[in-house]
Amino acid sequence: MKKETIDLDSLHQHDIKLLTALRKEKEDIESIAKRLGLSKDALIRSAFVLKDLGLVDIVEEAKVRYVITGEGNKNLREGFPEERLLSKDGTPVSSLSEEERRIGLQWAMKNGWVRIAEGKIKILSRPEKYDLREKLKAIEEGRDVDKETVKLLLQRKNIEETATKKFFVRITDLGMETAPSVMDRLDKEEINELTHSLITSGKWRNATFRKYNLRLKIERARKGAYHPVNEYIRQIREVFVSMGFEEMTGPEVDSAFWDFDALFTPQDHPARELQDTFYLENPEKFEYPEDVAERVKEIQEKAWKYKWDPEIPRQAVLRTHTTTLSAHTLVSLRKGKRSKPGKFFAIGRVYRNEATDFKHLAEFYQIEGIVAWKKATFRDLLGVLSAFYEKQGIKIRFRPHYFPYTEPSVEIDRWDEKRNQWIELAGAGILRPEVSLPLWGSYPVLAWGMSLERPLMNRLNLKDIRIPYQNDIYWIADSQI
């Protein structure tokens, strides 16, 4: 590194002090700190700053040290249990705990001091000084002790191992060259922070401002952010409102009547099975309006040629689609024999009893639109759909498909630029008269629906549909939709 390219302006006083104080030999930070009368931590920081500039080298040496534990201290002061086991005259000492007695006896036997004969302890020999205690003392004083003993003392929990890092600093050739050029800044007052008192006292007039390193890593702002899913919902709401659609809202918890029966789903339909729909234990049942039910029953029995059971629709469910809201709305538009027209939309959570994985969710959003208008035609349906997707910049095509409650039905495909192919996007159609007549009292009603997550995955380039709901705050803040 060339000297000219080094940014010396941003050096702190401490950095300068360290650099100018260094001698040619490596020296450990602790002794430099003593020498300069500065804190060790501050010098370590400075050493790393200087190292980044290539002015010094740092050598870290980890050193293992042993510290005496509480147990060890007790043994140092009072003697090990095996020492305290027997008093000088060989009679048992009563002040030992049961545990100490056990350990003491064990070690005394091991050391060959005592032996058990006929159920009594017999003393064989007793050393004046206990070697183990001497060595523990040596460790306390910082002297070296043989490995075997250290192992034993560790095992007996008299000592613990700690590692301490020692930092050695050595000035580099570049450092030697550079040091003189910062000498003049040594001990000169430099301002780190411009404070209130500096400003009001006028002291700033005589101060030099330390220059910053302007290329430091920038810290992220802790800003507010919208969740991409909610923001996407807001955008789609705007499209609907701009097309004259009124928003429908309603409960996620509803009866099977509105979720299935009102939509012409036969009572033995697989979609109603436990492995597809969440049924509720609490509340278990909901009532439904008798007059609507009467019409639903009549039309279902005629079309499906079975006996409609009035109990099944009372089951409480988590709605499996937002079409429940369309059903409620269509009923509310029916005033006696008049059927009020209207355009409505809903975006809401729906629930399916599915295992969650990278492309399936047990709860997801559905987008739903209806146009209830006696003069509506299939061409109006295609027109509304074209406008709806054009406003979102999505290129689509229509193809025939089958949906149980629309006829004719349309499947909408989206052109995928990246994959260069058509991808299923949404389902649409004209509600069957068996659906719209019992609810709205008239025909036709145009309807379409789609999941929100699939186009969202495309917009955000997601491989896993669960990512938005993991609520990683960085992801939320960085995902723009």
Partner 1 sequence: MATISFKKKEIEKFIGKEVPAEQIAHAFEMLGMPVDKCDEDEIVADITNDRVDMFTVEGAGRAIGQFLEIIKPRDYALSKSNLVLHVENVEVRPYIVAFVAKNVKLDDEMIRSLIMAQEKIHETFGRKRRKIAIGIHDADKVQGHLYYKQVKDISFIPLDSDKEMNIREILDKHPKGQEYRHIFEGTSNYPMFMDSKGVLSFPPIINSERTRLTGDTKNLLFDITGTSEHAIRIVANIFATSLADRGAVIENVELMLPNKEKRESLEYGRRETLSLKFANKILGIRLKPDEAKHLLARTGYKAELTEKKDELSIHVPPYRADIMHQVDFVEDIAVAYGYDRFKPRLPNLATNGSLSSQSKIDQKIRELMVALGFIETNSWTLTNEEMNKKALIDKKAVKIKNPRTQDFTMFRTDIAPSLLNILFENKTKGLPIQIFEVGRVADGEGRCFTNLCCAIMGEKADFSQIATVLFETKRFANVSEVYPDELEKAKKSKKEAGFRHLIDGRYILIKDNNDDRICGWAGEIHPQVLENFKLEYPVVMMEFRLQAKEEKKARKRKAN
Q: 416-435: which residues touch partner 1 (CB under 8 A)?
A: 430, 432-434
Lookup: tokens for 428: 């649409």
* Cβ at position 446, least distance to partner 1 in Å: 8
User: Residues 327 to 346: which contact partner 1 by CB under 8 A?
Assistant: 332, 341-343
User: Residues 198 to 257: which contact partner 1 by CB under 8 A?
Assistant: 220, 222-227, 229-230, 234, 237, 240-249, 251-253
Q: Between 16 and 361, whose beta carbon lies closer to partner 1?
A: 361
Tell me how far apart the alpha carbons of residues 31 and 40 are, in angstroms, rounded to a whole number. 9
Is position 441 an interface residue for partner 1 (rule: CB under 8 A)? no
Q: Between 76 and 382, whose beta carbon lies closer to partner 1?
A: 382
Q: How many CB atoms lie within 10 A of CB 208?
A: 10
With contact defined as beta carbons under 8 Å apart, do 456 and 232 qualify?
yes
With contact defined as beta carbons under 8 Å apart, do 167 and 40 qualify?
no
Q: Between 13 and 329, whose beta carbon lies closer to partner 1?
A: 329
Is position 367 an interface residue for partner 1 (rule: CB under 8 A)? no
Side chain identity, residue 75:
N
Q: Which residue of 3, 161, 408, 480 would you call a contact of partner 1, by CB under 8 A?
A: 408
Closest CA to 446 of 388, 385, 381: 381
Is position 181 an interface residue for partner 1 (rule: CB under 8 A)? no
What DSSP assignment string belongs to 124-154?
----SS-HHHHHHHHHHTT----HHHHHHHH
Q: Between 200 and 275, whose beta carbon lies closer to partner 1?
A: 275
Size of site (CB under 8 A) for partner 1: 95
* Cβ at position 398, least distance to partner 1 in Å: 5
- Binding range to partner 1, per CB under 8 A, among 37-45, 121-129, 207-215, 271-279: 271-279
Q: Which residue of 69, 353, 392, 458 would you call a contact of partner 1, by CB under 8 A?
A: 353
Is position 117 an interface residue for partner 1 (rule: CB under 8 A)? no
Give the contact letters, 91-110, x = binds to partner 1 (CB under 8 A), - = no. --------------------
Tokens 């009893």 belong to: 353
Is position 395 an interface residue for partner 1 (rule: CB under 8 A)? no
* Cβ at position 475, least distance to partner 1 in Å: 10
What is the distance in angstroms between the CA of the first residue and the CA of the last residue of the chain? 45
Closest CA to 20 of 52, 50, 53: 50
Lookup: tokens for 17: 């002090």
What DSSP assignment string belongs to 176-202?
HHHHHHHGGGTT--EESS--HHHHHH-
